[in-house]
Each structure stands twice: as C-alpha cells, then as structure tokens.
Structure 1
Amino acid sequence: MRIMIVNDYEEMSKKAAHIIASQIVLKPNSILGFATGSTPINTYKELINLYKNGVIDFSEVTSFNLDEYFELSKDNPQSYDYFMKANLFNHINIDDDRINIPNGMTDNIERECAEYEKKMKEAGGIDLQLLGIGRNGHIGFNEPADHFQSDTHLVQLDDDTIEANSRFFDSVDEVPTKAISMGIGSIMRAKKILLFASGTGKAEAIYDTVKGPITPRVPASILQLHPDVVIIADKEAASRL
C-alpha cells in the first residue's frame, strides 16, 4: 500500500487524474472502475481537460461503475448514471457501448447482480479501480457488517451514509435506502486500486483503513491485503496517520 499525502483537494484531484491518465496511455483499452460522489468531481474535470488537450483517448476504454441507487431511474439527476454522464462521459470520446453501470430499475435484482459480475469477468477484469471512502469506512456501498460481501449485491444503506448523501437531495427523506454495489470481492479483483480522500471528516476512516485491524466493520481495511493500492489523501484526511 502506497500512501501519498498532498496539500489539498485540488492537488489530490490532479494526482488522481494523472494516475488514471497514465493507465490509459500505457493501455489504451483499459478496463476502468469509476466512482461517484463529491470526491471525484475535480478528478473527472482534470481528465476532461487532458482529453481535450489530446493527452488521452477514451475510445478503447471500457468502464464499470461501482454502484447505483436502487429504484432510481437513469434520468433522475441524483442517479449515478446521470452523474457520470454529466461529470465525465458526455465530455469525452468513450463509446456508449463500453459504459457499464448497474441498472437500478431492474425487476430482477439477483439476475442484474450476476450479469454485472459476468460482464466484468468477460471484459478481463478491472485494470484500475477508483474508490472514494465513506466516513464509516465503506467503499462502494459496502457498509460496515459482520462479514465481507464478495460479489455485486443489493445493499441496505446505513443511516450515516443516507445522512451524508442527503446533501445531494432536497431532503433526507428523498435519499434511496438501497443501492446495487460491487462487492468487496469484486473490488479486490481489480489489478490496481486508487483510493482518494479529502477533508477531516475522512481522517478516522483513513486511519482505520491504513493502521487498523482488517475487519468488515471497516470495509476499506481489506485493502491492506491488496498487492497494488495507492491512497491519495490531503493533509486533513491524513491528519491521524
């Protein structure tokens, strides 16, 4: 596990974008795992700038998103499908057929999760998985639990996660209570993992991830066992290290 401590959110975003860009340059047909939320927004802006300046080309890239809210339609501005298009996909030359995001409106959740896993495996697996981290140590929507959930599955969101995500909605009552998420096993099968964090609110989670025991109560702690993890944290998020 390599830990990079940077000054602030802007520096974190640029470093993350350059690592992703390097992956694309070295392997133009990379399989990339993308994340949503407030943390990656400026990283995606930087990737768009690199694309517009001719540094990177997304035409051969295939993407898989970590998660999607359950029973939230793609055209809902708070869906992760909408988020990815607004913040990245609509501004680069990625092929629509190479974009993969769980279908939150599926009428067969077991089949949707199984097919998502199958698609990832058939694509050859994730080359680089981008991760944010929740205040409770969740990655994707893998919440603290009694065991690590392996594959893509339906998650009941913790109250803490619902409260944290309510800033994107008009009220906490509008936040979906369930989501489809890659499992811990899905994430750990990625060849390389890039986790980034910003702000004092993530300091405890980063400390527990890096220095705490490996436990499903802190899902991100499992990353200690992955052979190729880079964590980029600004000074506030790394303040307890």
Structure 2
Amino acid sequence: MEVVILTDAREIGTVAAEAITELLHRKPAAVLGLATGSSPLAIYDELVARCEAGAISFKQARGFTLDEYVGLPADHPQRYRNVIDEVFVSRVDFAPGAVDGPDGLAADIPAACAAYENAIQAAGGVDLQILGIGTDGHIAFNEPGSSLASRTRIKTLTRQTRLDNARFFGGDLDAVPTHCLTQGLGTIMDARHIVLVATGRSKAEAVHQLVEGAVSALWPATILQHHPHVTVLLDDAAARRLQLVDYYRETYRSKPDWQGI
C-alpha cells in the first residue's frame, strides 16, 4: 500500500488522472471502476479536461460503478447511474452502454447481483478501481461487519452512512434509502490497481485504521492491506492521524519519476 499525501483535492485529482491517462495510453480498452460521492470529483474533472484537450479517449474503455440504491426511481437525481452520468460519463466520449451499474430496481435482486459479477468478469476484470472511504471505514457500501470475502449483494445501510449521505437528499435522512446493492470486498479486491481518495478531517480516523490498523471487518477498508497494488491519495487533514506520516512523505518525495503510482 502506497500512501501519498498531497496539497489538496485538485492535486489529488491530477495525480490520479495521470495514472488513468497512462493506463488508457497503454490499454485503450481498459476497464475502469467508477465511484460516486464527493471524493472522486476532482479526478473526473481532470479527466474531462484531458479528454476535451484530446489527450485521452474513453471510446474503447468500459466502466463499472460500485453500488446503487435499491428502489430509487430510474429518473431520481441521486440514483448512482444518473449521478455518474452527470459528473463524468456524459462529459467524455464513452461509447453508449459502455458504463454499467448494479440494477437497484431489479425484481430478482440475487440474480441481478450475480449478473453484475458475471458482467465484470466477462469484461476482463477491472484494471483500475477508484474508491472513497466512509467515516466508519466502509468502501463502496460494505458497512462494518461485512464479510472480507463478500461479492456483489444487497446491504442494509448503517445510520451513520445514511446521515453522511443525507446532504445529497436535501438533509432529509428519511429520504435516504435503507438498502443498496454493492460490489463486495472480494469483488473490489479483484481489481488490478486500486486508487483510494480521502480528504478532510472527518476521514482521518478511517484512514488511520485503513493504513495502520489491524485488518478487521469492523473497518472494512482494511482488507486493502492484502491487495498488491493500492494507492491511497490524501490531503493533510485526512492524514492527520497517521503515525508514520513523515515516512510516507519521505517515501513519495524520493520515488523515481518513472514508477508512477
């Protein structure tokens, strides 16, 4: 796990976008794992700018989102298929239908989850997965207590997660769905490269557990310690609880330019 502490969200977006740019140049038909929420927005903005400038193209690429609320109408602005389309997909040159997500309106939820797993595998697996992290250490919607080997499935959201997400529903907690479909921790671990972004003081404890804590279902993101290629991009506020912060800074400063992230 590589920990990179940067100045702000804009710099984080640039570093992550550079890794995706290099991937697309090397493999134009790359498969990207796309997260929603506020953490990846700077990455998407930078990728949009590069696409508009002709520096990259997503015409051959595929995308898979991490999760979806259960039961939100197809036209609801907070349905994650709509969110990812608004903040990223519609702003670049993905081919129609190239980005898929779990079906939160499926009549047969277990079958829909299995179909989503199969779709990811049929595409060749995720080359680079973008992640955020919740204040309680969840990634995607794998809440504390999730199986470390879990696959795409339905989950009940914790009150804390619903409180955190209420800002997207006008501050109305009751409007936040209680269930979601989410890629499992085992599914996420199959990605070849994981880039996790965290900014702000509220994420500091979760980041500390992720990087320096014991691997535990109580902090689901800690499973990433067992992944061979994870990059954690932080601002100073999110890194404030790290005990080895000076070492992480020194390591990144002395890293060879050719190595990338």
Give the TM-score range, shorter chain.
Answer: over 0.9
Partner of 2:197: 196
Count residues in correspondence: 241
Could you tell me whether the CA contact under 8 Å between 2:146 and 2:220 is conserved in 1?
no
Distance 1:77 1:216 in 2: 32
Distance 2:149 2:223 in 1: 11
Distance 1:2 1:86 in 2: 31
Distance 2:221 2:210 in 1: 5
Distance 1:231 1:123 in 2: 25
Partner of 1:234: 235
Distance 1:74 1:2 in 2: 38
**Alignment deviations for residues 207-234 of structure 1 (CA, whole Å, 9 cap, x no partner):** 0000000001100000000000000001
In terms of mean alpha carbon deviation, does 123-132 or 70-79 score higher? 70-79
Q: CA RMSD in A?
A: 1.0
**Alignment deviations for residues 167-220 of structure 1 (CA, whole Å, 9 cap, x no partner):** 000211100111100000100000110001000000000000000000011000
**Alignment deviations for residues 140-189 of structure 1 (CA, whole Å, 9 cap, x no partner):** 00000063252100010010000000000021110011110000010000
Gaps of 5+ in 2: 243-261
- Give the deviation of 1:89 after TM superposition: 1.0
The two structures have a TM-score, normalised by structure 1, of 0.98
Alignment of 1:1-241 (within 5 A): 1-145=1-145, 147-170=147-170, 171-241=172-242
The two structures have a TM-score, normalised by structure 2, of 0.90
> In structure 1, the residue corresponding to 2:129 is in which secondary structure?
strand
> In structure 2, the residue corresponding to 1:144 is in which secondary structure?
coil
Quick one: which amino acid aligns to residue 198 of structure 2?
A
**Alignment deviations for residues 83-113 of structure 1 (CA, whole Å, 9 cap, x no partner):** 1111111111101222111111111100000
Q: Which has the larger radius of gyration?
A: 2
Quick one: which amino acid aligns to residue 239 of structure 2?
A
Could you tell me whether the CA contact under 8 Å between 1:74 and 1:80 is conserved in 2?
no
Distance 2:101 2:13 in 1: 23
Distance 1:111 1:146 in 2: 20
Distance 2:63 2:151 in 1: 17
> In structure 1, the residue corresponding to 2:97 is in which secondary structure?
helix
Partner of 2:254: none
Distance 2:21 2:35 in 1: 16
Partner of 2:251: none
Could you tell me whether the CA contact under 8 Å between 2:34 and 2:129 is conserved in 1?
yes
Distance 2:74 2:228 in 1: 35
CA gap 1:146/1:195 in 2 versus in 1, 3 angstroms: closer
Distance 1:149 1:69 in 2: 21
Could you tell me whether the CA contact under 8 Å between 1:73 and 1:104 is conserved in 2?
no
Percent pairwise identity: 40
- Give the deviation of 1:20 after TM superposition: 1.7
Q: Which runs of 4+ in 1 moved over 6 A?
A: none
- Give the deviation of 1:42 after TM superposition: 1.9
- Give the deviation of 1:39 after TM superposition: 1.1
> In structure 1, the residue corresponding to 2:23 is in which secondary structure?
helix
Distance 1:146 1:187 in 2: 13
Quick one: which amino acid aligns to residue 224 of structure 1?
Q
Could you tell me whether the CA contact under 8 Å between 2:35 and 2:132 is conserved in 1?
yes
Distance 2:156 2:24 in 1: 34
